[in-house]
Amino acid sequence: MCTGIYSGVLVDNDINIYPNPNNGQFTISLSQDAEVLIIDVLGREVYNANLNSGKHNINLESQVSGLYFIKTRVDGHVKINKMVKN
């Protein structure tokens, strides 16, 4: 069993990331206020913010192309989504 990963609070419709894949500019749509961390494949944090519910435009154009993990935390519960930057 993995600890710290819980899907009971956040379901797939609660966070939308689009377009995915993208060129470094994308939108995160949240149905709840959340802490959002974006981590590259080497484990480096490239983005960290507390975001209110709604749509947020994110710009990671200065980051290298590849796979990123978007970690969303609400009330201590975490959901991780994958995002690809071309």
The yes-or-no verdict on residue 55 having pLDDT over 80 is yes
Q: State the Cα–Cα distance between residues 57 and 43, nearest whole angstrom.
A: 22
Q: Mean per-residue pLDDT for 69-81?
A: 93
Question: Which band of pLDDT confidence, cut at 50, 70 and 90, is reported for residue 20?
Answer: very high
CATH 2.60.40.3080 fits domain 17-85: yes
Domain boundaries, the chain: 17-85
Q: State the Cα–Cα distance between residues 84 and 69, nearest whole angstrom.
A: 9
The yes-or-no verdict on residue 79 having pLDDT over 90 is yes
The overall average pLDDT reported for the chain is: 89
The yes-or-no verdict on residue 3 having pLDDT over 80 is no
